[in-house]
Each structure stands twice: as C-alpha cells, then as structure tokens.
Amino acid sequence: MTNASAARPLRVAIIGAGPAGVYAADILTKSNEVKDGDFEVSIDLFDQYPAPYGLIRYGVAPDHPRIKGIVNALHKVLDRGDIRFIGNVTYGRDVTLSDFRHFYDAVIFATGAIKDAELEIPGADLEGSFGGADFVSWYDGHPDVPRDWPLDAKEVAVLGNGNVALDVARMLSKHADDLLVTEIPDNVYQVLKRSPVTDVHVFGRRGPAQVKFTPLELRELSHSRDVDIVLYPEDFEFDEASDEAIRTNNQVKTMVNTLANWIAEDQDTGASRRLHLHFLHSPVEIYDSPGTPGHVAGIRFERMELDGTGNVHGTGEFEDYPVQAVYRAIGYHGSELAELEYDARRGVIPNDGGRVLDEEGTAVPGVYTTGWIKRGPVGLIGHTKGDALETIGCLLEDRDSLPPAENPDEHAIMKLLEERGVEFTTWAGWNELDAHEKSLGEKFTAESGEKGTAVQRERVKVVPREDMVRISRKPKG
C-alpha cells in the first residue's frame, strides 16, 4: 500500500448498489488480504436511487420467484454494517469522478445497463412501439418514469427470446388481480386491470433449441391463470447443432421438452387470454395503416430457417401479424458516464479485466468497473459474482500503487453532499422505507377473484422519488 494510506483503511467508492456493486463490496471485505490483516478497507456504496438493489428492484418482474432470495442475500451483506450505503446521489450531477478521487483511493463503477438496445427496422419509432426495458421500469415502479402506461392494445407483439421478453409477455398477459400478492404499486395495478389485451405474441429469430431464456422462466408461463399458451408445430425446426445441443445441454433439453409437451398436451382451454410463442421469425418492419397513421397497426417478419450450425438465414417468405403494440425486448444497453471513455457499440466502459482504460487504451490508476457496464448485459447473477471477483482481484494487485486520496476522512464526502444540498439516503433510511412498504402491504385488503377471496400483500412499493426520500430521511423520534 502507498505510504500515504498505510496507516489508515483503504477508501473505496462503488457507484451502483445493484448486485454487481454489492458483490464487489462483499468480495473485497472478505478477501484473504483483508481477513489476514494485510490492510483495512472502508467502502461507500453509492446509488442514484434512494433505495438499494438496482436491477433487482427495478428490472425484474415482481412475480419472479427468485427475487426474494436475491434481495435477502443482498440485504444480509449491507446489513452487516461494514459497507456504507449512500443513496439518491447521481454521478455526473451531484458528484464527479474528480470528487471521488479526492476522497477515495479507488473507484469502482457498477452502474449496469438500463437502456433498451436499438431495433433498427422501419417503424420502430411509431407510436405504440415500446422498449421492453422502459415497460419493465414502469411496472417495477421506477421513480423516474411516468406513472401511466398506454395499455390499449388487444393484440401485442414482444420481440426477443430472453428472460426479459418472457417477463414482459407474462406481465402483459397475466390478470392484474393475480399480481396483487406482489409488490406492484397501485398505479401499475390499476392500469393493468383496465388492459383489454387478448393475445400476446412472443417472437424469436432462431429455433426452440437456441432460445436465451432459462427453464424456470419458461415454466412460469404455464402458471398464469386463464392464459392459454399457443405454439406452432411449423416453428419447431431442428438442425444438427440443435440436436447436438439437446443431447449435450440439460438446460436446452429441458426447455425443448417443455415446449414439445405443451404442443402434445394442446394448451387451448378457451382462456380469455392467449400467449403465443413463435420461433424462426425475424422482424423487418413495423407498420401503420391509413386508419391509424403514425400508430402501430402490425408487424412484418421474414421466416427464417436453421443453417446446420444453429444460426439462421432468411427464406424470402414474409408474414404479417396485426398488432396494436410492439415491445422490443432484444437486450439492454449501457449508458455513457461523464469523465470516462465509452464503447458506444457495446454499451460498456472500455476496460482490461475491470481496469478502466483511457482513450489510448492505458489503465486509469485507481478506477475500475464491474457488472454489465463492464462486460455488457449478458449472463445471470452467478456471472456477476465471477465478474466482481476478477475486478477486485485487479484492485488487490494494484493496491500498493493506488493514487492516495487527498482527503480520506469518512465524514468528508457526507459534508460535501450536505454542502451541495443533496438529499442523500442511508441504510438506516432504507430500513425505514422498507418497513413503510411492508406496512402498506399489511394494511392492504382487497377482494380478488371470482370467489372474492381476501388478498394479503407482503409489501406495496413506493414510487415517487420525493416520497422515498421523505420517508428515508424523516426525523427520528
């Protein structure tokens, strides 16, 4: 460690309190070097939202069965007291990289990816064409998106064959009353309740053996009440690569078998809503009509066929589907960050194993990155842990040469935020908000379903940022 910081804890700032940031903090505190007493570490975990958990709070469907387990794991890490959470602080506006480098020896960016990847086809900007990530943010009660959503389509197309596409399709097709047991805000419930949707179509470019979702997410589709799953035998094409994947990959085998069983069982029960799964469809145009100029009236696809390697090529055959809304769930894209280089094509911060690079490709001393803003929006939670382990490994290797903070006092950053009028939140404040949301759930009673059964909610999510901040910062006593 540098002489200037040898007699004090290493000061580390992590920007982003989602899984990537929390895992990085946890791995650093549990590293052998820290446990063996080689040095001490002091970590501040910042987030632009008043609450922690990032994409777990604002990017996963509320009825997802894994949410509670992931949140509990992240809560345990932050509740230990050795990592300080500082929320409602926006990087590039409230604080700059120069500020962080003044107060910390190392800075780790774990800001994730929250924008929709672009779909470059004609009509993608028509009214009624939505980004899947934007819709997820809305139904998850993101504080910075509108409270309303135009759910006025009877027939909807969802583009993508990943877990986000399935989440979007499930939320669009599921009956609102069946979501009352989740933490969805009241405004989301009310809009979903009024939705006239009858048919939701999910389209993927490749075949059933090449889908990117996972078995759990696929099986969740069959758990929705009064929603039929519709599949099309002509879409079930397999080439040599598909057969090999089915033989050698248990996950692929499970998903293909699930889909095949659904076809064999005939899922048509006469439900009021239908969720259609289409494969080998590549979108080429979203179009309007003379009756609805400027608004989505349908979407055109080219039929694809597998080429033997698991990839596809066009057949020259086209199909039109009349829909009144299109949701583009083809992936996330990272956002540019002030004072850092940015790879616009990949949506990441250029880096070498987590070491942030400047425009010449040289590592910037003391600046690191992890998670989706480091490697792109791919992989599951397990990948995020491994990714954080690599980044923290680089930081540990560099710790003797890190540029020391000019003012490492733990109180200095808080004083700066107060001087700038930033209404930051803390872990104690999150516990207040957490308890408040749970109390809203305890107070909620509604009549749901044909039998009028009472619904008890575990929590109801608070949406407005000002309310989140007010509750988190309310005077004690």
Q: Inform me whether the pLDDT recorded for 67 exceeds 80.
A: no
Half-sphere exposure of 23 (CA within 13 A, CB side): 24
* 8-state DSSP, 437: H
Q: Please give the single-letter amino acid code of residue 465.
A: R
Helix (H), strand (E) at residue 321: strand 312-321
Average model confidence (pLDDT) for the chain?
Answer: 92
What are the CA-CA distances from residue 381 to residues 17, 73, 321, 389 (Å)?
14, 12, 35, 13
28's CB contacts (< 8 A; 6+ apart) are 12, 34, 41, 43, 392, 395, 396
d(CA 437, CA 471): 10
Identify the residue whose tokens are 């949406």: 463
pLDDT at 400 (0 to 100): 94
Helix (H), strand (E) at residue 193: helix 186-193
Of 65-74, 177-186, 211-220, 357-366, the poorest mean pLDDT is in 65-74
pLDDT tens digit string along 433-460? Answer: 999 999 998 888 654 444 455 777 888 9
Q: Please give the single-letter amino acid code of residue 277.
A: L
* Mean pLDDT in residue range 385-410: 96
* 8-state DSSP, 48: S
Q: Which of 311, 219, 229, 227 is nearest to 265 (CA)?
A: 229
pLDDT at 3 (0 to 100): 44
pLDDT tens digit string along 115-154? Answer: 888 899 999 999 999 999 999 999 999 999 999 999 999 9
Q: Give residue 207's region: left, alpha or beta (phi > 0; psi -120 to 50).
A: beta
How many residues are present in the chain? 477
Q: How remote is the C-alpha of 280 from its chain's centroid?
A: 26
* Cβ atoms of 353 and 395 closer than 8 Å: no
pLDDT at 445 (0 to 100): 64
Phi, psi of 166 (to 5 degrees): -65, -40
pLDDT at 262 (0 to 100): 92
